Structure 1
Amino acid sequence: FNTPRILKSGAFQYTVPTKRKNHRFLLASPRALEDLNLKLDEFGEELLSGESFYYDDRIFPYAQAYAGFQFGQFAGQLGDGRVVNLFDLETESGERFELQLKGAGKTAFSRFADGKAVVRSSIREFIMSEALNGIGVPTTRALSLSLLPGTLAQRNYAEQCAVVSRFAESWLRLGTFDLYRYRKDRNGLRELCDYTITKVLKELPEFSANRYKEDKYSDVTEGGGPDENVIDILDSSRYDQMYRQIVRLNAKVVAYWQVYGFLNGVLNTDNTSAIGLSMDFGPFSFLDKFNPKYTPNHDDVQLRYSYENQPSIVWWNLTRLAESLVELIGAGPDLVDDEFFVEHGVREDQGPDVLKRAESIIYLASNEYKETFMDNYNRLMSLRLGLKSVMDGDNELFAQLLDVLYKTQVDYNQFFIKLQLSNLDDHLIFLSKDVHERYAHPQDKVDVERNKEAEDLITKWLESYKERLSREGITQEQRRNIAQAHNPLFIPRNWMLEEVISEVEDSRGEEYGRLEKLLLMSSYPYNPEKWGNKLKDLETKWLQNEVDAVNFMKQCSCSS
C-alpha cells in the first residue's frame, strides 16, 4: 500500500492505518458528536484511533494526492503523507462528511516523512478546528484525539505521537487541481472539475457574467488586469461558475479570519480549501494584539503569510487555480463541450480568443474576490460592534479602530468584549492592564506621553462610534444583543495551548483535565454554561488572559 510513487492518473491511492504498539483513545469533541449525532462504542473508538479500520465491497481507506505551490514555489506532487481517509459520515439531515485520520502512518505520498503526528501539533489542530467552528468561521472539524503510547517521532527531539480524527464536507484543495495541471492531464482535469461541480459544490449561483466589471477596491489585492483589456462575457459556462464559486467561498473565509484575527501561518495551495474552509492547522495563531505584520510562522521570514498579507496570498493561490483552468474558463459555453475541443484542446486559430476570455474571467473574479471579501468583512465587523447594518462611512470607522488597536496594543479580541459591556463613557477600561497601570501611576514622562496618546485615541474613536450608533438609532441594549452574538467570550491562545500540551505530555496522557476544559471553552465560546464546573480558577485565568507579555504574539515552527 505505502510504496512511494508518482501517480500518472487519478488522485488517490488505497492505504490502511499503520498498526502501532498501543492505541489509546483519549477524548472526543462533544460538539462534533452532537453535530454528527454520533455515539461512540468500543469499535468506534478503535476506528478513530487507527487501531482498526472498516472496509466492504464499496469502502476502503485511501490517501489523496495533490500538488502545490509552497512559499510561492511549485513543489510537485505532494499528498496525504500521514492521513488516511476512512469513509463518509451522513447525518440525519442528509449532510455528508469525509472522515479521516491524521497521524495514521505512512502512505504512498509520505515522501521523506515518517507518517506520524506528534502530541503537540495534534492537540493544537484538535482545539483550533473546534474553536473556529465555535466562533462561526468556516472550517474543517476535529472529532477525536487519541494517543499512541510507545510510538515516538524524531523532531527537534523524540516526541510522543497521537492521531486526530477530523471531518469536512470535502478535503478537496486547490493543490488537487495543481496536480492535474502538473501532469498535463486534460481529461483528468475536466473529470475533476465535473466532480467538483456535481459532488462538492452541488449548487452554482447564477448571475450576470459581467457582474463585478468595476474594480471598487484596487488596493485590496493585486488584481487581474486593466479595464481596457476586459472583453464582455456574454454567457457563463459551468466551469466559469465553478471557478467563481470557489473564489467567493475563499473570499468569505478570509474575511472571517481578518475580522477575528486568525492567522493560518502556511497558506500554500495544497492547504487552501476548494470550498472555503479553514484547514491544515500548523503554526497558526490568533492575534493577541493588533499588528498587521505579525506572522505566527517562525519560518516565514519574508512575512508572506502575515495577517496583512492573507487576503492577497489567498488570491494569489486562486490565480494559480485559474492558470490550471485556463483552457476550460477560456473556452466559454459554446466551445467547452465541442467534440474536437474535448478530445484535442484549443485549435491554433482559437488560442488568442480563448486566452483573452480567460484573462477577462480572471479579472472579473479578482474584482468579485475583493468585493466579496470587503462585503463580508464590513458585515462581520459591523456585527462585532453591535451595528444593525453597514452604512456609508463605516470603512473609515473600522480603519480608525484598527489604528487605535495598533497604537494602544490593547488585546484585540478582548477589546470587543469590553466594548459590548461598556456604557461607552469610561475610556480607561479599554486599555490593557499594563498600560492602564502606567497611566494611573506614571513612572516617567515617556509613559505619560504614551498613555495620554492612547487615551486620546480611544476617546476620539468612541465619539465617532457613538455618533454612528446614533445615526442608526441603536440603543445600548440593542447594541449589546447584536454584539454578544458575534463576540466570543473566549478564544484559545498559544500560551494556553502550551499549558495544555505540557500537562498531557508530562503525564503521558494520564492527566488531561486542562485539555478537556480548553476543548469545552473553545467549542462553545459564546455559552459559559457549557464550560462545566471544573477548574474554575483556570477558566478565570484564561478568560482574563493573565500572562506575562512575553507569551503574546509567539511564533511556531512548521514541525509537527
Structure 2
Amino acid sequence: MPELSSFNIISRIKSSGRSRFIERLIPDESIKSISQAQEFLLKNSAQDSPPPKLDAVHTARITSLGSHFAYNVPEERPEYQPLLTSTTAIRDLQLSKDKNFFDLACGNKIYYDDKIFPYSMSYSGFQFGQFAGQLGDGRVLNLFDIPDNKGRFQTLQLKGSGKSLFSRFADGKAVLRSSIREFIVSEFLHNIGVPSTRVLQLTSLPGTKALRNGLEPCAVLCRFAPSWIRIGNFDTYRSKPDTASLVKLANFCIDEVFQNGKPFAKKEHDINIFNIDRFPDDEKNVENPKNDESLNLETPLSKYDLLFRHIVNLNAVCVAYWQTYGFVNGVLNTDNTSIMGISLDFGPYGFMDIFDPSYTSNHDDVSGMYSLGNQPTAIWWNLAQLAKSMALLIGSGNKEIIDIKQLNEDQEKLLVNRANKLIGLCANEYKYRFTITYADLMAKRLGIELNIRNRNISDSTAVYEDDETEGSIQERAERAKLFCDTIVEPLLNILKTTKIDYNAFFINLQNCELKGIPDEINIATDIQKDDNNYISCFITTKQKDEYIENLKRNGVNHGETRRMNEIFEEIQEWIIEYKLWLTSGPLPIEISKDYNPLFIPHNWVLEEVINDITVKQKDLLENNDNDNNINKLDLSLLKKLSIMCTNPFDSNQWEPQLCTDASKRWLTYTGYEKTIGRLNTQSTCSS
C-alpha cells in the first residue's frame, strides 16, 4: 500500500477542516457567533499595548443557560519552544512539520474563518461522588477538526493554553512535568491497543511558571480525539435543566460522534437478552442465574436508548483493557469519563509495578475509591449518573419528548420507570461486556485463544458480535467465567503473593516453553536450573536466591522455605490447568506477542525522565535570558522513552544507539525490587 501524502496544516484545514461542535451547538451568550468572535479578537488585538485585553473570554463565570461552549483564544506566552512531536500521530493525521504546524500546535497563532473558531467546552461533573457544579475546559482550547488517514474526524485541542470562562480559581496553565506524563501515556496506551486520546505535540513555555509543587516550568500539549465529550457534558442538566440543549447535545453525539448511529446495536442485538445477570455477585445465584422479566422493554429502542447503551458498552470495553494491563487512571470523575469509552485526561495515573487490586495511583485518593479493583464499579457509577442526566430522553422511549418543565407527576413516574428498566438491562450488559473482554484479553496475554469474541476490535466503537443470541451470550459468559475461575483468579492470587513485576511475568511466560513440562516435577531441583526455568516467571530473583540458600542451610523445614513450597504447589497446580487451555493451534507466543508490551512506562521511569529535564537541566530549561539555552537541552532520555512507547512490541525499533543504558535499566527491576517503596508509587492531582 503506498504511503499517504502529508500536507501543510493550513491547506488541510482549508480543504477539509470543520468545527463540528460549534456548527450545531449553542455558544455562551456573551459572544453569540463566529463573526462576533472574530470582531472581538480583531478589536482587542489592534490595541497598541500587548497583550490584548481579552478579559471577556478569560474571566471565569457561570455561563448562560443552555450553552454548550464559549468562544475563546489562547493567552499569549513570552516564548514557545517545541520539544517533542509524536511521529505516529503526525503520520496518522497526514501532517507535515513546518512553522505553521508548530505555531498552531502551541497556541502562538490560531486559525479561524467563517466556520471555524477556537472554543472551550462547558461541562459539569461528579468528583469523588459529589456534584461539583460547572467545570468545563478551564485550560483547554479546542481548535478545529480534521480527518485522519482513515477519514475519521479528529478534534485538535491545546491543554495549558490559558484561562477560559471555566477556569474558576485556576491559572489556565499546565506544568511540563504533567505534560510529559500525558504525552507518554497517551501514545503508549494507543500503541498497545487501549482506547485512548492521542497527543501530537509537546511545547515548552520558557518564562512561564505555575505554582504547583513550588514554581514549575509550563508547557502546552496539543492533543486530539474523535470527540472530547464527557459524561460531564450531560451532567450539566442536573443543575441547569434545559430540554432543548439536552436534546441538541444528544443528537450531536448520535449524528457526529457516532456517525448517525452506525456502530449502535442493531435489531438482532436484543437488549432484553440482558434481563439476566450472568455474573451475579451473590455466589448462590452464580450457577442458576434467572430472568428478570420485569426489566423487559418494548423494542425497537429509541435512538437515545441506543446512544446510552452504546456508551455503556464502550466504557465496559475500555475499563477491561485497563484491568488487563494494570493501568490505574487515578481520577475517574464523570468529567474524566469519555462517552466514547476512551482513556481521557491523565493526571495521577500509574501502571502497577506489582499486582495489588487496592493500588490507587492518586495520592489524594485516601479511601481507594479509584483503585485498580474499584475501577469497573467506578465507571458503572459514572454511567448511572449519565442515565439520570439522560432520564428524560431514555425514559420517553419512542414517544415524543416532553419539556422537563411541562412534566406532570404521572408522566414523570412513567419516565422514571422506563429509564430504570433500561438502566437495569444495561447494568447486566456492562458486566457481561466487561467480563468477556477482560477474559479474552487476559487469555491472549497468556497465549490462549479463548474463542469468545469473534470481532477484532481494531475500531474501538465496534463492540457487538454478529451472532449475539441468548444462547451464544450464555455460552460465552460460561466460558469466560470458567476461564477466570480456573486461570485468572488463581494466577492473580499467586502474583499478589510473590510480588513479581506484573508485566514482566507475561513476557517471561511467553518466552518459556511450557507444553513440555511434566505435571510431576521436583521443585527443589528444577528451581536451580538456568534453562527454561518456568518457576522464575512467578517469583523474584531475590525470592529464588533466598529459597535456594535456605534449602542449603536449613532444608525444607525452615519457615520461609515451607511458605515458598506452598506457593510452588499453587504454581504447579496452575501450570497443569494452564496447559489444558492451550490449543493445538498457534504457539502461545504467536498469540501473546501482540498483546504483551516489552516494557511499561512505570512511574519510576517517568520520574527519571522528568527529573532529567526539570531538575538536572533546570537552569537551561528556565533561564530564558539566553535564547540558545533551551536549544541546549538534552532530550535524549525523553526521546528514547517516546520511541519505546511508540513501538512497545518491537525492540528492534528502539534505536539501540540512543541511551542504551537507560533502556536496559527500564526493562529490569535491578535495584528496585529491593526497595519496595519505589513500587506502586502515587502522584498528586497537581498538574
Q: TM-score range by the shorter chain?
A: over 0.9
The one-letter code matched in structure 1 to 2:411 is Q
Higher alpha-carbon deviation: 67-76 or 232-241: 232-241
| 8 A Cα contact 2:509 2:534, kept in partner | no
Q: Cα gap change, 1:72/1:344 in structure 2, threshold over 3 Å: closer, same or farther?
A: closer
Once the two structures are superposed, residues 210-251 of structure 1 have per-residue CA deviations (whole angstroms, 9 ceiling, x without a partner) of 12110111229xxxx993642443331111000000000000
Once the two structures are superposed, residues 177-219 of structure 1 have per-residue CA deviations (whole angstroms, 9 ceiling, x without a partner) of 0012320111110111111110112222222231211011122
How far did residue 176 of structure 1 move? 0.2
The one-letter code matched in structure 2 to 1:13 is A
Once the two structures are superposed, residues 152-183 of structure 1 have per-residue CA deviations (whole angstroms, 9 ceiling, x without a partner) of 11112111111111000000000000012320
How far did residue 55 of structure 1 move? 1.3
The one-letter code matched in structure 2 to 1:249 is L
The alignment of Structure 1 onto Structure 2 pairs a total of residues equal to 549
The one-letter code matched in structure 1 to 2:682 is Q
Distance in 2 (CA, whole Å) between partners of 1:99 and 1:303 is 33
Aligned to 1:49: 106
Aligned to 2:60: 4
Aligned to 1:522: 645
How far did residue 114 of structure 1 move? 0.7
Distance in 2 (CA, whole Å) between partners of 1:410 and 1:93 is 40
Aligned to 1:141: 198
Aligned to 1:384: 445
How far did residue 457 of structure 1 move? 2.4
Structure 1's consecutive aligned runs of 4 or more residues displaced over 4 angstroms after TM superposition are: 342-345
Aligned to 1:462: 575
Aligned to 2:275: 213
The one-letter code matched in structure 2 to 1:360 is K
2:400 maps to 1:336:
yes
The one-letter code matched in structure 2 to 1:394 is F
Distance in 2 (CA, whole Å) between partners of 1:144 and 1:454 is 47
Aligned to 1:30: 87
Q: Cα gap change, 1:16/1:226 in structure 2, threshold over 3 Å: closer, same or farther?
A: farther
Aligned to 2:12: none
Higher alpha-carbon deviation: 460-469 or 309-318: 460-469
- Could you tell me which of 538, 544, 556 is aligned with 2:668? 544
2:210 maps to 1:153:
yes
Gaps of 5+ in 1: none
How far did residue 412 of structure 1 move? 0.8
| 8 A Cα contact 1:265 1:284, kept in partner | yes
Once the two structures are superposed, residues 489-530 of structure 1 have per-residue CA deviations (whole angstroms, 9 ceiling, x without a partner) of 121100010011011113226111100000110121011122
| 8 A Cα contact 2:231 2:337, kept in partner | yes
Q: CA RMSD in A?
A: 1.9
- Once the two structures are superposed, the pairs formed by residues 450-529 of structure 1 within 5 Å of their partners are 450-469=563-582, 472-474=583-585, 478-505=587-614, 506-507=616-617, 508=621, 510-529=633-652
Aligned to 1:531: 654
Q: Cα gap change, 1:382/1:559 in structure 2, threshold over 3 Å: closer, same or farther?
A: same
The one-letter code matched in structure 2 to 1:120 is R
2:373 maps to 1:308:
yes
Aligned to 2:221: 164
With normalisation by structure 1, the TM-score equals 0.94
Distance in 1 (CA, whole Å) between partners of 2:500 and 2:434 is 26
Higher alpha-carbon deviation: 85-94 or 173-182: 85-94
2:132 maps to 1:78:
no
What is the SS of the residue equivalent to 1:159? strand
The one-letter code matched in structure 1 to 2:275 is K
Q: Cα gap change, 1:120/1:287 in structure 2, threshold over 3 Å: closer, same or farther?
A: same
Larger Rg computed on CA atoms: 2
The one-letter code matched in structure 1 to 2:584 is G
Distance in 2 (CA, whole Å) between partners of 1:540 and 1:324 is 50
- Could you tell me which of 430, 438, 441 is aligned with 2:549? 441
Aligned to 2:345: 280
2:681 maps to 1:554:
yes
How far did residue 453 of structure 1 move? 3.0
Distance in 1 (CA, whole Å) between partners of 2:342 and 2:647 is 19
With normalisation by structure 2, the TM-score equals 0.77
- Once the two structures are superposed, the pairs formed by residues 61-76 of structure 1 within 5 Å of their partners are 61-76=118-133
| 8 A Cα contact 1:116 1:161, kept in partner | yes
Higher alpha-carbon deviation: 72-81 or 210-219: 210-219
Q: Cα gap change, 1:336/1:433 in structure 2, threshold over 3 Å: closer, same or farther?
A: farther
Gaps of 5+ in 2: 1-56, 283-289, 452-478, 518-532, 622-629
What is the SS of the residue equivalent to 1:300? coil
| 8 A Cα contact 2:272 2:296, kept in partner | no
Higher relative contact order (CA 8 A, sep 6+): 1
| 8 A Cα contact 2:179 2:221, kept in partner | yes
How far did residue 306 of structure 1 move? 0.4
Aligned to 1:132: 189
Distance in 2 (CA, whole Å) between partners of 1:163 and 1:209 is 44
- Once the two structures are superposed, the pairs formed by residues 226-305 of structure 1 within 5 Å of their partners are 227=292, 229-305=294-370
The one-letter code matched in structure 2 to 1:403 is N
The one-letter code matched in structure 1 to 2:659 is L
The one-letter code matched in structure 2 to 1:559 is S
Q: Cα gap change, 1:90/1:234 in structure 2, threshold over 3 Å: closer, same or farther?
A: closer
- Could you tell me which of 429, 434, 453 is aligned with 2:536? 429
| 8 A Cα contact 2:275 2:293, kept in partner | no
Distance in 1 (CA, whole Å) between partners of 2:404 and 2:328 is 43
% identical aligned pairs? 44
Q: Cα gap change, 1:183/1:226 in structure 2, threshold over 3 Å: closer, same or farther?
A: farther
| 8 A Cα contact 2:392 2:404, kept in partner | no
| 8 A Cα contact 2:512 2:534, kept in partner | no
The one-letter code matched in structure 2 to 1:384 is R
Higher alpha-carbon deviation: 346-355 or 432-441: 346-355
What is the SS of the residue equivalent to 2:167? coil
Once the two structures are superposed, residues 99-121 of structure 1 have per-residue CA deviations (whole angstroms, 9 ceiling, x without a partner) of 01111111111101111111111
The one-letter code matched in structure 1 to 2:222 is S
The one-letter code matched in structure 2 to 1:541 is R
How far did residue 433 of structure 1 move? 2.1
How far did residue 264 of structure 1 move? 0.1
Distance in 2 (CA, whole Å) between partners of 1:546 and 1:411 is 11
What is the SS of the residue equivalent to 1:274? coil
| 8 A Cα contact 2:324 2:441, kept in partner | yes
What is the SS of the residue equivalent to 1:166? strand
Distance in 2 (CA, whole Å) between partners of 1:91 and 1:181 is 35
Distance in 1 (CA, whole Å) between partners of 2:507 and 2:247 is 48
Distance in 2 (CA, whole Å) between partners of 1:344 and 1:66 is 21
- Could you tell me which of 156, 167, 172 is aligned with 1:99? 156
Distance in 2 (CA, whole Å) between partners of 1:467 and 1:170 is 43
What is the SS of the residue equivalent to 1:544? coil
Distance in 2 (CA, whole Å) between partners of 1:343 and 1:183 is 11
Higher alpha-carbon deviation: 45-54 or 266-275: 45-54
Q: Cα gap change, 1:547/1:35 in structure 2, threshold over 3 Å: closer, same or farther?
A: farther
Once the two structures are superposed, residues 24-67 of structure 1 have per-residue CA deviations (whole angstroms, 9 ceiling, x without a partner) of 01110111112212211012112112222111121111111100
Q: Cα gap change, 1:46/1:450 in structure 2, threshold over 3 Å: closer, same or farther?
A: farther
2:454 maps to 1:394:
no
How far did residue 15 of structure 1 move? 1.0
Distance in 2 (CA, whole Å) between partners of 1:106 and 1:354 is 40
How far did residue 255 of structure 1 move? 0.4
How far did residue 344 of structure 1 move? 5.6
